[in-house]
Amino acid sequence: MKKISYFLVAVFISIGFQVKAHEGMWIPMLLRQNFAEMQRMGLKLTPEQIYSVNHSSLKDAIAGLSNSPNPQGFFCTSEIVSSQGLLFTNHHCGFESVQKHSSVKHDYLKDGFWAMSQKEELPNKGLTASILVRMADVTDSIVPKLSDTMSRQQRSAIAMPIISRLKKANSENGKYNVVIKPYFEGNKYYMLVYIVYRDVRLVGAPPSSIGKFGGDTDNWMWPRQTGDFTIFRIYTAPDGSPATYSEKNIPLKPKYHLPISLNGIKEGDFAMVWGFPGSTNRYMTAPELEFRMEHYFPPLIEAFGKKLEVWKKHMNANPDVQIKYASNYAMIANSWKYFIGQMRGVKKQHVVAKKAAFDKRFAQWVSESPERQAKYGDALKDMTDAFAAESKTIEPLIYASITGAQGAELLGFAQKYSGIEGLLKQAKETKDKAQKAKKMERAKKMASAMEEKLQKSYKDYDMATDRDVFAAMTKMFFEKVPENLHPEYLDKMVKKYKNNFDAFASYVFEKSHFSTEAKAKAFLANPTLKEIEKDPAFILSQAYMAKLMDASSGYRAASGKLAEGKRLFMEGIMQMEPHKAFYPDANSTLRYSYGKVEGYYPQDGIHDLFQTHLYGVMQKEDSTNPEFIVPKKLKELYEKKDYGPYGQDGKQDVNFLTTNDITGGNSGSPVINGNGELIGLAFDGNWEAMSGDIAYIPKLQRTIVVDIRYILFVIDKYAGDTRLIDEMTLHKAMPQPDRVEAATTPAAVPGK
């Protein structure tokens, strides 16, 4: 599952029921917490082979993918599969990179992309791959200096300098990138030391008809037949150190790469997933969940749903728009379906009632002693109060951000001109001639810097699409956001256009300097204060931002005591069950989860098997539906059963299920068998367990995995990029001769 990073309001936490089999995204350095159980389930490796600070180990093959130069915000996971830095991840993780390299002439989304030599591998500006060098528990350097009576601000004022010092001391003069993060709601702190590689090139991607087979219809669903993989390669400076793109760079020589098993899987096999899950809310209380269900999801679903509808209309009508909006559409469609599924799952699984029962148990435990009451007595109440207050402010905030400031792309473009506007204004206001000249000079410089970036900003922009988005979003804003948060300008214009939002949109896009690249370019050649200040998109973007600040300050005030309540609640429940091993909520740091290959029973009378096959692709084929087109070449291979060493018993396995506990951010994570070999890539979760980020459901929750043998089949047989197969380490067991034969056939003598 890809990490869903929607926006500003990172509000949420989570709850602990009893940890059940296979639940948990565990901390790598605490491997021994579960090691004996993993051995019983079939793990053959030693702890040192998995997580070692002194030797190369499995963890050295796992890389977090990010668009940041720092090791944070990992949207997906990837793994090294060759001694030359070859990297596997999901197709939907590489989708944005593939999209950026695509045009109607070279539509790599549709046709796939295969570099047939290292020379043809494509750089991706800004994409980074981070590998964890080591981690350490630094709680004792921070937490003893803090106390319960301090406010959140006081706590952070004390923690910040300690964290800065630790980061500096462990970065080895910039060689490593150090992050310190709170775990368990700030009851623990761990330090994560990373090496961040900044030249990550696109090597290969199947066509969407393989990599995204089933599209948004099948997304979050099982049974599934998706070849959800893309291949990248990490490059380094000639001396092996991280570097941004340069022709001189060479493929990474990794400390470790994962061997690949061609032996297939069977139900019950041990499976381990390593990756960077983004966030979960397993310790969420009932009031928070009710808040989400009633006030948080509904506006999100409505606003995103509308935007998707408008985009889709234009994408279907225009192949150019189809490519330009493919990545953004996929991202929002994915979140949108997730919200809907989560709401549905919470209801079906009666999660609110389960949380309420747990909250009650906690309250009972607290009431049993005066010490507990003194320490934890307010935790639940503080949280309940905070959510009651937030429930009044969240809806306006969501509508104001999604349909206002973040509504049309045009407003985002306009927003970028506030720097120039500020300088021009200062220049106008100052009497001092020298000052004036200086400000003008700076404004000019800023304008030419912006001009250089114009082409990139407008590359994936379609004005007609955005104008319709503007009309729809503005209408929703006008109707859903309370009047006190309406920009005056908006009300004035809506009145002027007699509530005709299309007409208003046409006016704005006609009049604004920022609705096409050419107009923006002309404006930047000679920017004037007068023109900016009367630009309708600029006026509206400024007003929306101001109103958004108002809306979020109300929201923030309501959430004052929340963090403290959450921290104490977490501490309390860990005290309540002192013998239980707790795992912290996901926080975009390296975790492992363990489980086994297993199907499930989605409803009475139905058993979903653990595996799908290529014939399932053929069964779903629908040449009239873009989501279910099957490429001709794939059909030919299927008809000839030309599966090479990747098929089994005349069948090509495609996807399978495991019981591993994963979430967004784990997309692309390696699924590893008991011998430490790669057997697949995790890429999704199943519809029946969409409430899983809030409460894990052992009976239903599954990880959907693309079988590594399907990936290799596509690379080798479909794309013919055999050079890639040659650099991997493939393990295939020899067929075992049966006993009689073994006894009568003379053994081959090594060396003869």
Chain residues binding ligand ARG by CB under 6 A are 1-2, 92, 212, 215-216, 219-220, 330, 333-334, 664, 667, 684
Whether residue 667 contacts residue 77, with contact meaning beta carbons closer than 8 Å, is answered with yes
The separation between CA 3 and the C-alpha centre of its own chain, rounded to angstroms, equals 2
Residue reference for tokens 């790598």 = 28
Catalytic residue among 512, 667, 669, 691: 667
The residue among 335 and 512 lying less far from ligand ARG, judged by its C-beta, is: 335
Residue 671: which residues within 8 A CB-CB, separation 6 or more?
A: 271, 272, 273, 658, 660, 678, 679, 680, 681, 682, 703, 705
Min dist CB 6 to ligand ARG, Å, is: 12
Handedness of CA 511, 516, 519, 525 (dihedral sign): positive
SS3 state of residue 78: strand
For the chain, the straight-line distance linking the first and the last C-alpha, in angstroms and rounded, comes to 51
Catalytic residue among 22, 92, 314, 613: 92
Q: Give the helix/strand (H/E) hosting 731.
A: strand 730-731
730-731 and 260-261: which strand pairing? parallel
Can 92 be counted among the known catalytic residues? yes
Min dist CB 219 to ligand ARG, Å, is: 4
Whether residue 6 contacts residue 406, with contact meaning beta carbons closer than 8 Å, is answered with no
The residue among 48 and 309 lying less far from ligand ARG, judged by its C-beta, is: 309
Angstrom distance (rounded) from CA 27 to CA 35: 12
The CA dihedral of 244, 249, 254, 259, to the nearest 10 degrees, is 110
Can 228 be counted among the known catalytic residues? yes
SS3 state of residue 46: coil
> DSSP code of 597?
B
Min dist CB 340 to ligand ARG, Å, is: 12
The residue among 706 and 712 lying less far from ligand ARG, judged by its C-beta, is: 706
Can 385 be counted among the known catalytic residues? no
Handedness of CA 24, 28, 29, 35 (dihedral sign): positive
Angstrom distance (rounded) from CA 415 to CA 568: 40
Cis peptide before 223 (omega within 30 of 0): yes
For residue 232, which phi and psi values (nearest 5 degrees)? -125, 175
Whether residue 680 contacts residue 707, with contact meaning beta carbons closer than 8 Å, is answered with yes
> DSSP code of 254?
-
Handedness of CA 146, 152, 158, 164 (dihedral sign): positive
CA distances (Å), origin 104, targets 99, 321, 456: 11, 10, 17
Min dist CB 629 to ligand ARG, Å, is: 14
Residues belonging to the active site: 92, 228, 667
